[in-house]
Amino acid sequence: MAYLVQVDFPHEGPFGDEMATAFTDLAKNIAQEKGFIWKLWTENEETKESGGIYLFDTKEDAENYMEKNRKNFDEFGIKGASMKLFKVNEQLSQITQGPLK
């Protein structure tokens, strides 16, 4: 069973290629998280938002990552972040070609 974490937060930038350059080390760090499968990075320069969709092997790993992320947001003074946890319906996701691994 896979678990999805959805994160959105206010972000003034950078975006696009500049964001990719600025957050390369963070991306490499996230890729080492226990139970991590993948992340889709999200950004909307018009609404000044950023975030991501993460997939984890277990609920426990997803919850641990969410707690770590909450602490990081507090440490960096990021207010207004939203984090949600979902169990993935793998049968329906396979039909619609959702990447589960």
CATH number at residue 11: 3.30.70.100
69 touches 60 (CB < 8 A): no
pLDDT at 1: 86
SS3 53: strand
Does residue 101 lie within any of the structural domains? no
100, part of any domain: no
User: Per the domain annotation, does 72 fall within a domain?
Assistant: yes
In tens, the pLDDT along 7-57 reads: 999 999 999 999 999 999 999 999 999 999 999 999 999 999 999 999 999
Model pTM score: 0.91
Considering its fold, how many domains does the chain have in total?
Answer: 1
Consecutive H or E run containing 60 = helix 59-75
Give the pLDDT of residue 82.
95
Residue 85 lies in a domain: yes
Residue 7 lies in a domain: yes
pLDDT at position 100: 84
Domain extent for 23? 3-90
SS (H, E, C) 3-24: EEEEEEEECCCCCHHHHHHHCH
- At residue 77 the predicted structure's pLDDT band, cuts being 50, 70 and 90, is confident
* 54 in any annotated domain: yes
Q: How far apart are CA 18 and CA 62, in angstroms?
A: 28
